[in-house]
Amino acid sequence: GAGVSQTPSNKVTEKGKYVELRCDPISGHTALYWYRQSLGQGPEFLIYFQGTGAADDSGLPNDRFFAVRPEGSVSTLKIQRTERGDSAVYLCASSRLAGAWETQYFGPGTRLLVL
């Protein structure tokens, strides 16, 4: 079956612009996670959804970052007034449930470059 998909695969923007990154999880998966991976590092947690609600957004670096999942499926990560430090790979993962032993399946990521 289809895996997690993310669009766009690459995004180049200018400092101060607004960007939206989209994640299509595996069908039927209720939990959705966003992670950010800076060059040469492991992914870091940003926000997690259980259904439509953001259950934990403690990883969002500041209020320029926001994410939604209005119908409990597709999610959009929104970044306002982008800064050069926002450049990274943004990874989305989904799992059937949010349980401790549930496998999270990752998408290929969106590579964001802020000039």
User: Least separation, in Å, of the C-beta of 81 and other proteins?
Assistant: 26
- Geometric angle at alpha carbon 92, from 99 and 37, rounded to 5°: 110
Residue with tokens 């959705």: 32
User: Least separation, in Å, of the C-beta of 41 and other proteins?
Assistant: 6
3-state secondary structure at position 85: helix
Residue among 66 and 106 whose Cβ is closer to other proteins? 106
Residue among 59 and 66 whose Cβ is closer to other proteins? 59
Tell me which residues touch other proteins (CB under 8 A). 4, 31, 33, 35, 40-45, 48, 50, 55-56, 59, 91, 93, 98-109
User: Least separation, in Å, of the C-beta of 50 and other proteins?
Assistant: 8
Residue among 33 and 65 whose Cβ is closer to other proteins? 33
Number of H helices, E strands in the chain: 0, 11
User: Least separation, in Å, of the C-beta of 42 and other proteins?
Assistant: 3
Region of residue 9 (phi > 0: left; psi between -120 and 50: alpha; otherwise: beta)? alpha
What whole-number distance in Å separates Cα of residue 60 and Cα of residue 29?
22
Residue among 34 and 114 whose Cβ is closer to other proteins? 34
